[in-house]
Structure 1
Amino acid sequence: MAEEETRRHLVLAKPIALEDEKDSENTASNGIRRILSLFKNVRPGSDLTNFQLPPQLNQPRSQLQCYGEMIYSFGGQDLLGECSRRDLPIERLKSVVTWNISTLRPVVFGLSPYNPVLGETHHVSNGHINVLVEQVSHHPPVSALHATHENENIDVTWSHYFTPKFRGAYVDVEVKGKREMKLLNQRETYEMTMPGLVMRFLPAPGANWAGKFKIKCSETDLEAELHLNSDSFIGRLRGNNSRSIKGKISETSSGNQLYDIFGHWDKTVMAKNVKTGELEVIYNAKENISGLRPPVVKNLQEVMETESTMVWSELSEGVLKKDWERARKAKRAVEEKQRESLKQREASGEPWVPKHFSVVKHGKDWDCTPRQTSVPRAPLVIPET
């Protein structure tokens, strides 16, 4: 009976991994005309934040799940825990760089995750890592994430919101917000910015992370600056996979460079000691983002009604079975429920208050602080190998 309820109420989609690249290419070639047809009346420079896609162009997962997967879904060693296990400050920063690179995942062009509804959550555990994500704003869409590592006493907080702009031949997505990692045992805080995303339509379709992001720790006087290159037009036409990453690790106060960082985030990334010339592989994508497994239900009774996989279960079933009429009805039902909740709040005059985060808005910036000091164990878990 419990298994039947699980199947009926929860759809747990497989995370996007390196081996899904071929499916991504097929989706791109099959879906490019439909995508362009949706944009035929959209002017270059238009904000696409609230742009709605038909179910045929949806992945069977919410954007919240995509965020959570960046942290709880990995196939190799516990890279998050490594950040605190290193003895020297420079080694810890290198580990933080490695972990940041590991959060970059392939983007399936031609298919988009669902836009999360207000109050939607996603709560998953993997080993000693517990992750909780909540949609704290709908207009604009803002997602907040809190992750804690039980063994190594690590605290990670994110707040994300996109600003997608249509540029004619591509969509330029600026990722705004804040990322922070606290190594509590080391009394160190690492502040991080985020790269953007470029989705190209012509001359060859594709989507990739691009731009600059930084990692800085004031306690150790160390920082890293990294730059991601998306696939070039000519490179895509020749079948090349760029996804290159270049950067450096330096002392903040003196500017003295300590390491060169280079490689490809979907293959391997190297660090070169500027003083000694020593080379080391700091990241291997094949070990970390291959063979990824979806969560399983450990305790159905503890799954929140706001859990992403429950909110969108009917729509995901329709998408997976290609039952588009069922998918459209399910998507409409979720949207109508959200509109009804908004009407009720407006009628009562009660503002929306997120359950798991304290949210403060400073102009266009959003500051999301977890209400709990640690994330509890989740009813959804990544199974052990």
Structure 2
Amino acid sequence: QLCIFVSDQFDNDDRDDEGEGESVEEHKSVIMHLLSQVRLGMDLTKVVLPTFILERRSLLEMYADFFAHPDLFVSIAEQPEPRERMVQVVKWYLSAFHAGRKGSVAKKPYNPILGEVFYCHWDMPNETAEEPPPPPVAPTEPLSDGPLPWVSPNNVSFVAEQVSHHPPISAFYAECSGKKIQFNAHIWTKSKFLGMSIGVHNIGQGCVSCLEHDEHYILTFPNGYGRSILTVPWVELGGECSIVCSKSGYSANIVFHTKPFYGGKKHRITADIFTPNDKKSFCAIEGEWNGVMYFVWGWVPGKWATNTLTPGLCLPQPFTRMWRDVTLNLKLKDIDMATEAKHYLEEKQRGEARERKENERQWETRLFHEDGECWVYDEPLLKRIAQPRP
């Protein structure tokens, strides 16, 4: 097993996008040169993108944004009936995407290095303390036996690992042991050049497990698009997604609508939730995934506004910081030094891959294992409940 890297982290306030709208105009010649080398439909996996468009955080950290509202995630397990639990899964899912956009200008997160891991947790609103969390050193008597043993069982813990380089697969896992709920997912990203846009196809799935009720909700993810790459880039989501619980029979269809070329609104979403064996939905939803969504449950209308939700404070664990030099130099707008630091990490990864090939050694993951077409966390809450510690 070679060196395991852990994502670099800076405070959320460090990642404001003040002035970042100028970067595209300043470097338009670089982008034009890049566009001259690609063609429509070309896979961008092996294309080296300019450093100045990077978001100053790893893709693994971006996936943690799915739990930016930990109270919505935890409340799934608190619902008394299968119907209410399915509605809450959909509400959490639809509220998870706006938190990933840290600013109005589209930026690309770092491609995770093989073996890179990221840990963080969220305090529940009623447990947030004024003092920072204790350092990541396992205490003599751990509060739990989960991914982060030093956090409270009523908090949400998150861990992610880059488990494959070709294809680039990220696996991530979250849990709240006190509420007996967990989430396991893997995503394989595939980027294509679409002319004046870049499309990112997200291949994979996630699973919300309510262990108290033995329910598992399988869900898929929308695709992402970077639009207007020659002016002020912006991100939109597109595609059909589903959420299915095989035990209860409840399901949901969700459509992220891309903006038409002429007219139309950005970020539109429609969704329907169905009872078992029923083709007519009992809950219809429409609106914008980063704004206000309206729903009709039976004959009762309602709404929730994601743009007024305050994300929970993500508390990353300060381990070895592999992206520190890239992030710091991007913040200082020293593009040359950021590019050099990024190039060093990429060359290190290539060298380690050559060494493994020469020695006929396979890469060994640290926290996840492959199970069919999925990647599963080694010690999920489901397994620990079934086999409690002595």
TM-score in terms of structure 2 length: 0.79
> Is the aligned partner of 1:169 residue 2:196?
yes
Q: Which amino acid aligns with 1:295?
A: L
How far apart, in 2, do the equivalents of 1:268 and 1:349 lie? 54
Which residue in 1 is equivalent to 2:147? Answer: none
Aligned 8 A contact 2:239 2:257 in 1: yes
How far is the alpha carbon of 1:10 from its aligned partner?
4.8
User: 1 or 2 for the larger relative contact order (CA 8 Å, sep ≥6)?
Assistant: 1
Q: Which amino acid aligns with 2:71?
A: D
- Number of aligned residue pairs: give it: 341
1:195 to 207, 211, 222: 222
Distance 1:45 1:95, change over 3 A: same
How far apart, in 2, do the equivalents of 1:110 and 1:124 lie? 24
> Is the aligned partner of 1:209 residue 2:209?
no
Which residue in 2 is equivalent to 1:287? Answer: 308
Which residue in 1 is equivalent to 2:256? Answer: 228
Aligned 8 A contact 2:282 2:297 in 1: yes
Which residue in 2 is equivalent to 1:12? Answer: 10
Distance 1:100 1:352, change over 3 A: same
> Is the aligned partner of 1:314 residue 2:338?
no
Query: What is the DSSP-based 3-state SS (H/G/I as helix, E as strand, rest coil) of the residue aligned with 1:234?
Result: coil
How far is the alpha carbon of 1:31 from its aligned partner?
5.9
Aligned 8 A contact 1:13 1:294 in 2: no
After TM superposition, list the pairs within 5 Å mapping 1:16-55 onto structure 2. Answer: 34-55=30-51
Instruction: Deviation per CA, 1:11-36: give whole Å up to 9, x if none.
Output: 4152899x96x867665666666434
Distance 1:220 1:278, change over 3 A: same
2:107 to 111, 130, 141: 111
Distance 1:23 1:94, change over 3 A: farther
Q: In structure 2, list runs of 5 or more residues that go unmatched.
A: 1-6, 124-154, 383-390
How far is the alpha carbon of 1:278 from its aligned partner?
0.8
Query: What is the DSSP-based 3-state SS (H/G/I as helix, E as strand, rest coil) of the residue aligned with 2:262?
Result: helix
Aligned 8 A contact 1:118 1:137 in 2: yes
How far is the alpha carbon of 1:38 from its aligned partner?
1.4
Which residue in 2 is equivalent to 1:4? Answer: none
Query: What is the DSSP-based 3-state SS (H/G/I as helix, E as strand, rest coil) of the residue aligned with 1:78?
Result: helix
Which residue in 2 is equivalent to 1:86? Answer: 79
How far is the alpha carbon of 1:202 from its aligned partner?
7.2
1:134 to 161, 167, 175: 161
Aligned 8 A contact 2:122 2:313 in 1: no
Which residue in 2 is equivalent to 1:253? Answer: 277
Distance 1:83 1:343, change over 3 A: same
Q: In structure 1, list runs of 5 or more residues that go unmatched.
A: 1-8, 376-385
1:338 to 345, 349, 367: 349
How far apart, in 2, do the equivalents of 1:368 and 1:70 lie? 18
How far is the alpha carbon of 1:85 from its aligned partner?
0.6
Greater share of helix: 1
1:265 to 277, 284, 289: 289
Distance 1:296 1:192, change over 3 A: closer
Aligned 8 A contact 2:86 2:250 in 1: yes
Q: Structure 1 residues 244-253 or 34-43, which shifts more?
A: 34-43
Which residue in 2 is equivalent to 1:145? Answer: 172
How far is the alpha carbon of 1:92 from its aligned partner?
0.8
How far apart, in 2, do the equivalents of 1:80 and 1:96 lie? 7
How far apart, in 2, do the equivalents of 1:182 and 1:119 lie? 26
How far apart, in 2, do the equivalents of 1:79 and 1:199 lie? 28
Q: In percent, how many aligned pairs have the same letter? A: 24
How far is the alpha carbon of 1:59 from its aligned partner?
1.6
Aligned 8 A contact 1:32 1:110 in 2: no
How far apart, in 2, do the equivalents of 1:51 and 1:60 lie? 19
How far apart, in 1, do the equivalents of 2:364 and 2:214 lie? 31
TM-score in terms of structure 1 length: 0.80
Query: What is the DSSP-based 3-state SS (H/G/I as helix, E as strand, rest coil) of the residue aligned with 2:198?
Result: strand
Aligned 8 A contact 2:117 2:161 in 1: yes
Aligned 8 A contact 2:118 2:161 in 1: yes
